[in-house]
């Protein structure tokens, strides 16, 4: 069963690669069918088996020999690994299914933000739809979710206003995450996005990948904090509460 979940995650990961390249370009994610970005040769199902094809063809197009980015297999494996983790933590449940979709959304948003410095509205709408479906499924926490969205909006609007480091995409992403996780989740994600951001940025600068003047997108840090909340948010909050009392 877990192997099936992992393979399913790889296949969806392969679709995420298509989304990451096409959504910012405004190209439909279903049509035209996948083709090699170098020679334009149509890729058939047998050419698109996740990871396996990449390794078998040594990361090259089998028609024109152009090399493919290592991003493809990495995204596939990452998505497969996250699906496995969601299955282990949430099992065969409503939240298991919803969090798989959310994890894929967070991966896609992170990669698009890193490459293009934007978070497309269409993806944040998917996030809001996930939030609304959780509210409909578990209608005991309606106010918590709406206040969560409002808190996400307020905190990040103010940060955007005073620092200029965040854009509209980050604000909308935080609103969607507020709908999904409620007030506690939004506060957790805010704090951890800054901790992770500080850690990653100082690492990138220390290793000279980036300088102080470079613009580094903030969306991926929000997404990483949201992933952390999915997998160990409550555990970390409990440790923190024990520590301050």
List residues near Zn ion by CB under 5 A.
Answer: 36, 38-39, 61, 63-64, 66
Report the C-alpha gap between 6 and 213 in whole angstroms: 40
User: Residue 60, SS3?
Assistant: strand
Helices (H), 48-141: 52-56, 71-90, 94-116, 121-137
Q: Which is nearer to Zn ion, 60 or 184 (CB)?
A: 60
What are the φ and ψ backbone dihedral angles of 207, each rounded to 5 degrees?
A: -85, 5
Smallest gap from Cβ 153 to Zn ion, in A, equals 45
Query: Are 82 and 106 spatial neighbours (Cβ–Cβ below 8 Å)?
Result: no
Q: Which is nearer to Zn ion, 64 or 125 (CB)?
A: 64
Distances (CA, A) of 183 to 64, 100, 116, 149, 224: 52, 21, 30, 8, 18
Smallest gap from Cβ 148 to Zn ion, in A, equals 46
Q: Which is nearer to Zn ion, 73 or 178 (CB)?
A: 73
Residue 67 structure tokens: 């090399």
Smallest gap from Cβ 59 to Zn ion, in A, equals 12
Phi-psi region of 173 (alpha: psi -120 to 50; beta: other; left: phi over 0): alpha
Query: Are 212 and 185 spatial neighbours (Cβ–Cβ below 8 Å)?
Result: no
Q: Which is nearer to Zn ion, 39 or 199 (CB)?
A: 39
Report the C-alpha gap between 203 and 226 in whole angstroms: 21
Smallest gap from Cβ 62 to Zn ion, in A, equals 8
Q: Which is nearer to Zn ion, 36 or 147 (CB)?
A: 36
Smallest gap from Cβ 30 to Zn ion, in A, equals 21
Smallest gap from Cβ 51 to Zn ion, in A, equals 19
Q: Which is nearer to Zn ion, 61 or 176 (CB)?
A: 61
């Amino acid at each position: 069963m877990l192997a099936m979940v992992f393979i399913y995650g790889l296949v969806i990961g392969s679709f995420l690669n298509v989304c990451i390249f096409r959504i910012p370009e405004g190209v439909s994610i279903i049509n035209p069918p996948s083709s090699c970005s170098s020679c334009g040769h149509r890729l058939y199902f047998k050419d698109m088996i996740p990871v396996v094809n990449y390794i078998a063809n040594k990361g090259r197009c089998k028609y024109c020999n152009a090399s493919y980015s290592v991003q493809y297999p990495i995204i596939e494996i990452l998505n497969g690994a996250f699906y496995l983790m969601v299955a282990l933590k949430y099992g065969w449940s409503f939240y298991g299914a919803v969090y798989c979709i959310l994890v894929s959304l967070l991966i896609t948003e992170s990669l698009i933000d890193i490459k293009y410095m934007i978070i497309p509205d269409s993806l944040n709408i998917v996030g809001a739809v996930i939030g609304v479906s959780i509210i409909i499924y578990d209608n005991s926490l309606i106010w918590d979710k709406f206040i969560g969205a409002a808190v996400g909006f307020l905190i990040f609007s103010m940060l955007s206003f005073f620092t200029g480091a965040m854009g509209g995409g980050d604000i909308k992403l935080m609103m969607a995450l507020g709908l999904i996780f409620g007030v506690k989740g939004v506060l957790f994600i805010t704090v951890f996005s800054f901790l992770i951001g500080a850690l990653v940025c100082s690492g990138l600068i220390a290793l000279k990948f980036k300088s102080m003047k470079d613009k580094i997108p903030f969306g991926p840090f929000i997404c990483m904090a949201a992933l952390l909340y999915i997998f160990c948010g409550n555990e970390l909050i409990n440790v923190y509460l024990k520590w301050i009392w």
